[in-house]
Amino acid sequence: MLFRIVSIVFPIFIIVMVGFAYGRKHRPDMQVANSLNISVFLPALFFSALAGKAFNLADNIPIAFGCAVVVLGSGALTWVVARLLGLDPKTLVPPSMFNNVGNMGLPLLLLTFGEQTLGAAVVLMLVVTLLQFTVGIWLLSGRLEPSMLWREPLLAAAGAGIFFSLSGLTVWQPLMVAIKLMGDISIGLMIFSLGVRLSTAHLGAWRIGVVGACVTPITGMLVAWGFGLMANLNLLEQNMLFVFGALPPAVSGFILAERYQQEPDKVASIVIIGNASALFFIPLALALRL
């Protein structure tokens, strides 16, 4: 069991450390690479996963609904924690709701449960993206900005992929191979980029960072465990949702906190300490479910 857990998490964390070391030494500007990933490579991954013959939208509705429950349920639990500790819920709640399903979750789920779960993993990322750019922005700014959704290449590619899946149309195979090759670039680049990002981050308010680092995976796992039992999900769906719930806060939480001036230094601490604490919480989640 220990060997299996190590074999799952080692590829992710070694790439993060390579990115961290490279970032420390060379201070690369990852803006262009990250922009390409968001605009080209990740949309290609979304489309190839959702338009592929192995993907069935109806089969993934339970885990999509479960993902929404985990996101919203962990946010509700964290709001209570923030009130009890006298912390600003606007600072603590969004990072705990929206976890690192992109940089860490997608490759972790594929390594743990196999390539056949790519469609379900992409659905999880899609649900988190939709909620972060609606509910997340509402929490930070007090207003909804659904128009932002139409400008997201990820969502456009997902919509096109779902259309092909539902319509029964097939993409010309050589073109699909090309799209899949571009999509394959995204996973390694996401993990490497996370390491580079962490190498330039500054640790500020450690107290709220530690709270966020613990609250995010604990509330996520609790809600995922409860929903999995009540919704009568199959074992694979329960396990995927549980591991999803154990993920650390997403780097995008810091970007949005900075945009809306919601104590970005404290959110940065939550993200940094949260991703470091994944060295403990991810193996714990795997040990509990595998």
pLDDT, tens digit, 9 for 90 and up, residues 76-93? 999 999 999 999 999 999
Mean pLDDT rounded to a whole number for the chain:
85
Burial class (CB in 10 A: 0-12, 13-18, 19+), 217: buried
Q: Which of 57-71, 133-147, 236-250 has the lowest mean pLDDT?
A: 133-147
Domains of the chain in start order, with CATH, are: 2-289 (1.20.1530.20)
Q: At CA 261, angle to CA 255 and CA 266, rounded to 5?
A: 70
Q: Which of 2-6, 164-168, 222-226, 271-275 has the lowest mean pLDDT?
A: 2-6
Q: Is the pLDDT of residue 148 over 70?
A: no
- What is the rounded distance in angstroms from the CA atom of residue 249 to the CA atom of residue 215? 10
Q: Is the pLDDT of residue 272 over 90?
A: no
pLDDT, tens digit, 9 for 90 and up, residues 98-137? 998 877 888 889 888 888 888 888 889 889 888 888 888 8
- What is the rounded distance in angstroms from the CA atom of residue 217 to the CA atom of residue 95? 11
Q: Which of 101-105, 162-166, 199-203, 273-277 has the lowest mean pLDDT?
A: 199-203
Instruction: Give the percent of the chain with pLDDT over 70.
Output: 93
Q: Which residues of 255-276 are buried (b: 16+ CB within 10 A; e: fewer)?
A: ebbeeeebbbbbbbbbbbbbbe
